[in-house]
Structure 1
Amino acid sequence: MKTLIAVLLSLLVAGPATADAPTKIRLTNGEWAPYQSKDLPNYGAASELVTAAFNAAGIEVEYGFFPWNRAMMLVERGAWDGSFMWVLTPERDRLYLASDPLFTLREVVFYSRDNPISAQKPEDLKGKVMGALDSSAFGRQFAPFVDDNSIIVSRVPNNQQLFQMLVMGRVDFVPELETSGYEAILEHLSEQQRKRIGHLESMTYPWSYHLLISRQIDDGPYFIDAFNRGMAIIRDNGEFERIIGSYIRPREIN
């Protein structure tokens, strides 16, 4: 009888917490093929991965598509619950709760063969113009030289414009992921233009990607825990590799 009473009491205590647990999350999204796009199946490979992880933890995902600056601002204010795929910086770590890493990708330095560059370390590119995406942390290794204006930065909202600037000679180099960089080259440049783009093997930088959740919402810690649990589930059952495996390895450019 005491055991039965103890079980009933534990259910009464646990019941409301379970019943009150959120079953839906609202995430900001944006344009970054092949990982994220409102025009791709399942909104891109990373979106599909995030959906699968949350679904495995019993949470439905709603996406809203915005320019990247606005996507982050909406989460910072708590108007939306979270956003992805983002690398961690000290500022982002202060403003958001971060999940375990989704995966790690390699940043490389792209250049045009019409304007070849040679570099072994960031300071070798002083005096050059760097192309970068709005709100992107790519090129972190060049930050000291950007701060003292020995490297000038030209920012644009998407990879299409970024690589068109590079092939037109408006910027000297572009630090971007090897995967999404070559995806943009394949999608947005002509065959002749593609042949003019290369990357430096001498300068690479690893990035781990995360889901970020607003610190302004009460359910933030719950969402992080649920997502991490869901990711563990889909890694174990093979869904992770099915969804994202081919997208975290660079495509060949012929």
Structure 2
Amino acid sequence: MIRLPVFLAMLGLAIPLAAATPAAATTCTSRVVDHTVASGDTLSRIAKAAYGEEGHWPRIFEHPGNASAIGNNPNVLTIGTILKLPPCPGSVTVAPDETAVPDPEIVAETQDDALLPSIIYIVTGDDWAPYVSKDWPKGGMATLIVKAAFEEAGLGDRIRVHHINDWNAQIKELVPANRYQLTFGWAMPDMGFWKTCNRLPADMQVRCSYDKSKPILTTTLGFFREIGRSDLAEMTFEDLKTARLCRPTGWSTFELVENGLSPDNWVGTDSPAACFNLLMQGEVDFVVLNRFTGIATATEMGIRQNVEMAPFTVPHRIYLLAHKDNPLNTTGYLDAFNLGLQRIVDNGKYGQISSFFNDEFARRAGGK
């Protein structure tokens, strides 16, 4: 495996070069650009050619539409696939403004008297940087995406976002009681896989009471391992079925099961740090966290130089939710949000938001 500088390896990982044929270079700009996958391409090679660093491959993976086209193995790409490359690192130096001049056609679709109340209150957490946190510009990446999408839909003046650090209260009490009409920051099960709610873990069945938007964002779910574990060096995604995985209790595991992993060998803890403690003690093989949470936790614990991400991933998608039984039919706001979300993807604002927060995280984590 190619060994990168520690920080860049933690932001992504060093992925082996899959073929001798050079990747067809695409130069990044301050805007989103297309890249057509050529023979020999891997995400790390594309990132190296476009951004100058292999470790920036998760930026590409996480852009809307890319994860579905790529799958779990960034080493294996289908020739001819068109991927969207977000702006160059460092090209977006200020958090983009969420305000917009909405498309009249979108406004015509969203300005419906049936969308009540006229002011809609949205709740999220305050402890999941860089996605949702009042300590980050604009309230975090997910918060800014939500606001920008509603602005594009012509509904920016109707929404109010509040941060409350009790996720269970949000989904089990505050939204069902209509104190808030929408909530975001949630993973949701693929009911095409689960079929019925009673197959879900008991504490996750409440999510069947909600309708979801299109994904606000996709995160790279990292499988963090201790550097130097020779027994894990050649492990593939398929081998994870027998590996000891640690993920904090109460955090979603839908994606893991939906991608063929069994919970038989999983270990639950009360925090990401507790999982990393078990990893360093040799009691688990991998800690499963989104890449930002994994890097931030390892940094705080002083073990960033001792852990790395394995060369596979699972996309972890985050949604805006509306309760199905809300008497004001606030699920209609999801349709408006979806229109605005597609608009900011198409006009490039989404890529600028993502690029800014990736760079801001790198600065705060002590990287380049």
TM-score w.r.t. the length of structure 2 is 0.53
Alignment correspondent of 1:60:
159
The aligned counterpart of 1:229 is: 339
Alpha-carbon distance change, 25 to 219 in structure 1, aligned in 2, over 3 angstroms:
farther
Contact 2:246 2:286 in 1 (8 A): yes
The equivalent position to 2:237 in structure 1, one of 121, 140, 148, is: 121
Residues 75 and 82 of structure 1 are in contact (CA less than 8 Å); yes or no, is this contact kept in structure 2? no
Indicate yes or no: 2:244 matched with 1:145. no
Aligned AA for 2:294? Answer: G
Q: Which residue of 2 aligns with 1:103?
A: 217
What are the equivalent positions in structure 2 for 1:1-254 lying under 5 Å apart? 17=113, 22-56=118-152, 57-58=154-155, 59-74=158-173, 77-79=176-178, 80-89=180-189, 90=191, 91=197, 94-113=208-227, 118=232, 119-121=235-237, 124=240, 126=242, 128-132=244-248, 134-137=250-253, 139-140=256-257, 145-146=262-263, 149=264, 151-157=265-271, 159-160=272-273, 162-163=275-276, 166-167=279-280, 171-186=284-299, 188-190=300-302, 193-201=303-311, 203-217=312-326, 218-247=328-357
1:99–1:212 Cα contact (<8 Å) kept: yes
Check 1:63–1:162 CA distance in 2 against 1; reply closer, same or farther (3 A cut): farther
Q: Which amino acid aligns with 1:87?
A: A
* 1:157-199 deviation line (CA, Å, top 9, x unaligned): 5x4555455446564321122344224434x232xx1110112
Say which SS state the counterpart of residue 17 (structure 1) adopts: coil
Bigger mean CA deviation after superposition, 55-64 or 134-143: 134-143
8 Å Cα contact 1:122-1:141 kept in structure 2 = no
**Residues 131 and 171 in structure 1, CA contact (< 8 A), matched pair in contact too:** no
84-93 or 60-69, which deviates more: 84-93
- CA separation in 2, counterparts of 1:179 and 1:126? 26
Q: Choose 1 or 2 for highest CA Rg.
A: 1
Please give the root-mean-square deviation of Cα atoms over the aligned residues, in Å. Answer: 3.5
Hey, what's the Cα distance between the residues in 2 that align with 1:111 and 1:165? 11
* 1:131–1:172 contact (8 Å) kept in structure 2: no
Structure with more strand by fraction: 1
Gap change, CA 1:55 and 1:179, over 3 Å in 2: same
Q: For CA contacts below 8 A with separation 6 or more, give which structure has more relative contact order.
A: 1
Most deviating of 55-64 and 32-41: 55-64
Specify whether residues 94 and 125 from structure 1 end up closer, same or farther in structure 2 by C-alpha distance, changes over 3 A only: closer
8 A Cα contact 2:322 2:334, kept in partner:
yes
The letter for the 1-side match of 2:183 is: S
Preserved CA contact (<8 Å) 1:129 1:172: yes
**Equivalent residues, number:** 232
The two structures have a TM-score, normalised by structure 1, of 0.73
| Alignment CA distance shift 1:182-1:153 (3 Å) | same
**Percent identity for Structure 1 against Structure 2:** 21
Residues 115, 329 of structure 2: 8 Å contact kept: no
**Do the aligned partners of 2:122 and 2:182 also contact (CA within 8 Å) in 1?**
yes
Q: How far does residue 27 in structure 1 lie from its aligned partner after superposition?
A: 1.8
8 A Cα contact 1:132 1:174, kept in partner: no
Give 1:154 shift.
1.8
Cα distance change on mapping 1:156 and 1:133 into 2, 3 Å: same
Residue of structure 2 equivalent to 1:3: none
